[in-house]
Structure 1
Amino acid sequence: IKQYSEDIPIQRIKAIKNEHEVNGMKEGYLQDAAAKIQFLHWIQNEVKSGRTVTELSGDIKLREFREKQPDFVMPSFGSISAFGPNGAVIHYKSTEETDVAITDKDLYLLDSGGQYKCGATTDTTRTMHFGTPADRHKEAYTRVLMGSIDLSLCIFINGTGGKHIDALPRQHLWNNGWNYNHGTGHGIGAMLNVHEGSFNTRTTVPLVANVFMSDEPGYYEDNDYGVRLETVVMVVEAETKYNFGDATFFTFEEVSFVPFDPKLIKYELMSERQIEWLNDYNIKIREKVGPRIKDVNPEAYEWMLGQTEQVVSDSDSQRVVYSGVILAVQMFCVIMMV
């Protein structure tokens, strides 16, 4: 018996969200971000205080934070709560036999999501270190982050499929001789499947507006550690200076807003444009999620502010110094003329 797999037209229709679905997805991701920020603040405090938190007990606590959100219904999939070498297993699922304590000695990878009755299926991944990360952790994390940012920033012409832009998030890993053995992005349902068909980075199906997709590059060292950063994005029309042949151009808009770990970022590896994106993203976290946790959990709010501080690139610093020199010269000339 031969089986053939063909894209079903109704799958594409379902994956293109209408206005109400778009609004529901955005609201659900803000609720999920509020829960996850409070959880990450909580687990960091627990680990630093020496109290025992394991992969499984941490996941249970995360659900408690989600259950405080007004529209939460249930998890959208079984969480990947993975510490140290377990994080190198891409589709790891902690069990009583594999469950380990989370400490400040290694990386913690959390890939988790929920279903929200406002019409959202959420799926976000962040990798954290609760102590002092090794340089190898920081370089891997930063190169994964750089790739994630480049994908989010890309502008592509109508007719472009996800497979056509899959090299963008991999390039900074490839430059180091690294790679990852999973797709970069998959479709997301509206309180449906967390992996929705048709639109992803493995096919040439053209991406169109109002499609939600994950942006999740990673890097994994067997029996050592794993890094994955997953931010869900929505395809939107791009504003371009020119419009060749009256073509439509698209880009991505982020809809999940959970801080990255600044301890793991080697800013010197990043371009000015990437740092600008990171600063803009951090401002959005403060503006969109901050009001949802400021009063209910002031300590988590303060932690979030610390995780989203603005970064000044070397070139920015040089411009500040350079501008100061010019201003001083100008003032000197004015004084001499007087």
Structure 2
Amino acid sequence: MNLIAERLDAVRAQMATRGYEALVVPRADEYLGEYIPAHNERLRWVSGFTGSAGTVVVLRDRAAIFVDGRYTVQVRNEVSADLFEYQHLIEVPHIDWLTKQLGAGARVACDPRMHSLSWYRDAARTLEASGLHLVADTDNLIDYCWHDRPDPAVSPALLLDEVYTGSSCTEKRQRIAALVAEQDADAALVFAPDSVSWLLNVRGTDIPCMPVLQSFAMLERNGEVTVFVDPGRVPDGLAAHVGEGVRHLPESAAAEVLQTYSGKRVLADADSANAWAQLTLEAGGAELVAGADPVLLPKACKNAVEVEGARNAHRKDAVAEVRFLAWLDAEVAAGRLHDEAVLSQTLGTFRESGEQYHGPSFDTISAAGANAAMCHYNHLNVPSPGKLAMDSVYLVDSGGQYSDGTTDITRTVAIGDPGAEVRRMFTLVLKGHIALDQVRFPAGTTGSQVDVLARQFLWRSGFDYDHGTGHGVGAFLSVHEAPQRIAKAHNPWALQPGMIVSNEPGYYKDGCYGIRCENLVVVREADVNGDVPVFEFEALTLVPFDRRLLDLSLLTPAEIDWINGYHQLVAKEVAPSLGGTDLTWLEQATQPL
């Protein structure tokens, strides 16, 4: 019997013991973040799936895995069809699926620490309407069966100087406390670790790629804060760094403290804070005030120091990217066609030479040929990495964490002559990228209102891509930051000055190739003289697009001017930090069309 089958049997034995007909296992831990340390990879343990989003539902006699369009190919490569049904989580939500699988009275288990309160309450209502019962069980069934579960990594956090943050912890706490008071709340549950890290001006070191302090906090309306955190993560000098009014307690004390808010109004985000924390507050007599995490918007709207830091980080990152692309072209010209692992490692080596570099901002997507058709492909999760082939394309999506900012860039590179079809599709994708980059929009415009600009040229020819066009990016924080987003799906949050977001349309032909053109941009005020405030995007990423992949017949004069102008900016900003063959490559790559 294979390992996954044995694990499913062990879980089902526990389900039977506890009287559960189903178990919901999300790809999440108690902090509900995208990046999960190894000891919390429960979904991977039970299924073998390595993607960043998904849900498994285990029944007594079968199981199903639910993923979105980014992972429809990957899930079939990693998860056994003999053990799991494949479902699209948007088209077939797992709770709706469950109502059709179970009879009245069946008990569905979940760990409320791994789900948001909104999910928990919606799921309970949907299940109850079909005669089913959602049962909260914090004695996690997966943990109970996972006998060789690794120990968590615990190390002291980093204290981030005000030269990078532009604002002290005391100033931030008073600012956020005022927002709490405006909502007539006595306190706020600051749950997301990146919100806590931003508030305290600290960064964590225990999760690969995600420099957050694993913790959550209660912020009082007077600016005092209680942080629940493993004592081993508390760095020396924290008290002086954060100022008066901050105390930290072990997470084991959280339940007792949360139950002391009887009669108080506590602002809590039902979408981003876990159900356990909010249910515990309610059980102690607190009144929950539903509202967004009060740190969310101030954190997303970077101040002038943070924006300048992002520019600096992108200049350093561009040097590494250009050196890598110059090396790659030379290797291909010499007939040395490396595999995806060597390519990723080499890019990482170039980044490591940059100042104030702390590591990658996510696992590099180093995808040769057909592997690039899986937009979240990871060569670390396949039996053997793919290898470059002539007359194809190579897609590399990567980023870095620097003391002054977070980067994320995708470039699609010609390996030989990939042919007219690839050039056509690359050009349609880049046309969408240019259209979004150039847009000006009035205050109050959301990302979902401008998403069509990036897709329009693909749509005209009957093509599309099954992912968002842009995600928010933090300041030496999460590479996927809420609330800003550019996507088809409605997002109520308006794009505001200081927000950093990606511009990354793409196209993926299953089994053949993948294309993505990604820059990070920051929202800024446009210089106009109209009746309403108008905003625009400023490109932060400074790396050439591959001119060899362009079909010039599909470009307008204005689009050619944009490409030339962007490449001129790249040369101006990056050339002073290069020399020798790297500089020669950049000069050639940025020649006017």
Shorter chain as denominator, the TM-score bin is 0.7 to 0.9
Between 1:145-154 and 1:101-110, the stretch displaced more is 101-110
Distance 1:7 1:174 in 2: 34
Distance 1:104 1:191 in 2: 37
Q: Which has the higher strand share?
A: 2
Matched residue SS, 1:82? strand
Instruction: Please show how residues 43-58 of structure 1 align to structure 2 within 5 Å.
Output: 43-58=328-343
Structure 1 residue 220 and structure 2 residue 339: aligned? no
Instruction: Please show how residues 287-298 of structure 1 align to structure 2 within 5 Å.
Output: 287-294=572-579, 298=580
> 2:581 is aligned with what amino acid?
E
Q: Which has the higher helix share?
A: 1
> 1:29 is aligned with what amino acid?
H
1:274 Cα deviation after fit: 1.2
Which among 178, 201, 211 is matched to residue 499 of structure 2?
A: 211
Q: Which residue of 1 is the match for residue 350 of structure 2?
A: 65
Distance 2:337 2:507 in 1: 27
Distance 1:305 1:193 in 2: 33
Which has the bigger relative contact order, CA under 8 A and spacing at least 6?
1
Matched residue SS, 1:2? helix
Q: Which residue of 1 is the match for residue 591 of structure 2?
A: 309
Matched residue SS, 2:444? coil
Q: Which residue of 2 is the match for residue 104 of structure 1?
A: 390
Distance 1:50 1:213 in 2: 37
Q: Which residue of 2 is the match for residue 115 of structure 1?
A: 401
**Rg larger in structure:** 2
Structure 1 residue 28 and structure 2 residue 313: aligned? yes
1:101 Cα deviation after fit: 1.4
Instruction: Please show how residues 129-168 of structure 1 align to structure 2 within 5 Å.
Output: 129-168=414-453
Instruction: Please show how residues 187-266 of structure 1 align to structure 2 within 5 Å.
Output: 187-202=472-487, 203-240=491-528, 242-243=529-530, 246-266=531-551
Q: Tell whether the 8 Å contact from 2:371 to 2:386 is kept in structure 1 after alignment.
A: no
Distance 1:136 1:26 in 2: 35
Distance 1:179 1:111 in 2: 19
Structure 1 residue 2 and structure 2 residue 111: aligned? no
Q: Which residue of 1 is the match for residue 462 of structure 2?
A: 177
Q: CA offsets, 1:40-89, max 9 Å, x none?
A: 11012112212241101111111111111112111111000001110000
1:216 Cα deviation after fit: 0.2
Q: CA offsets, 1:192-240, max 9 Å, x none?
A: 0000000111313111111110000000000000000100001011123
Q: Which residue of 1 is the match for residue 581 of structure 2?
A: 299
Q: CA offsets, 1:284-320, max 9 Å, x none?
A: 01100011113xxx10111111111112xxxxxxxxx
Distance 1:7 1:282 in 2: 40
Q: Tell whether the 8 Å contact from 1:133 to 1:263 is kept in structure 2 after alignment.
A: no
> TM-score, length-normalised on structure 2?
0.50
Between 1:106-115 and 1:50-59, the stretch displaced more is 50-59
Q: CA offsets, 1:246-272, max 9 Å, x none?
A: 310011000101111111001221122
Distance 1:115 1:47 in 2: 29
> TM-score, length-normalised on structure 1?
0.87
Between 1:128-137 and 1:157-166, the stretch displaced more is 128-137
Q: Tell whether the 8 Å contact from 2:369 to 2:389 is kept in structure 1 after alignment.
A: no
Q: Tell whether the 8 Å contact from 1:48 to 1:104 is kept in structure 2 after alignment.
A: no
Distance 1:7 1:88 in 2: 36
Distance 2:332 2:413 in 1: 12
1:105 Cα deviation after fit: 2.4
Matched residue SS, 1:235? strand
Q: Tell whether the 8 Å contact from 2:373 to 2:509 is kept in structure 1 after alignment.
A: yes
> 1:232 is aligned with what amino acid?
L
Gaps of 5+ in 2: 1-119, 123-269, 272-290
Q: Tell whether the 8 Å contact from 2:364 to 2:398 is kept in structure 1 after alignment.
A: yes
Q: Tell whether the 8 Å contact from 1:235 to 1:251 is kept in structure 2 after alignment.
A: yes
> 2:418 is aligned with what amino acid?
P
Q: CA offsets, 1:93-140, max 9 Å, x none?
A: 0035140111322110000000011x2110000000121121110011
1:146 Cα deviation after fit: 0.4
**Aligned-pair RMSD on alpha carbons?**
1.2
Q: Which residue of 2 is the match for residue 335 of structure 1?
A: none
Q: Percent identity?
A: 38
Distance 1:220 1:91 in 2: 11
Q: Tell whether the 8 Å contact from 2:503 to 2:519 is kept in structure 1 after alignment.
A: yes
Q: Tell whether the 8 Å contact from 1:238 to 1:251 is kept in structure 2 after alignment.
A: yes
Q: Tell whether the 8 Å contact from 1:121 to 1:188 is kept in structure 2 after alignment.
A: yes
1:275 Cα deviation after fit: 1.2
Could you list the runs of 4 or more consecutive aligned residues of structure 1 that deviate by over 3 angstroms after TM superposition? none
Distance 2:444 2:401 in 1: 31
Q: Tell whether the 8 Å contact from 2:395 to 2:410 is kept in structure 1 after alignment.
A: yes
Q: Tell whether the 8 Å contact from 1:48 to 1:130 is kept in structure 2 after alignment.
A: no
Matched residue SS, 2:471? coil
Q: Tell whether the 8 Å contact from 2:388 to 2:415 is kept in structure 1 after alignment.
A: no
Matched residue SS, 2:483? coil
> 1:307 is aligned with what amino acid?
A
Q: Tell whether the 8 Å contact from 1:164 to 1:204 is kept in structure 2 after alignment.
A: no
Q: CA offsets, 1:148-170, max 9 Å, x none?
A: 00000001011000000000000
Distance 2:327 2:555 in 1: 29
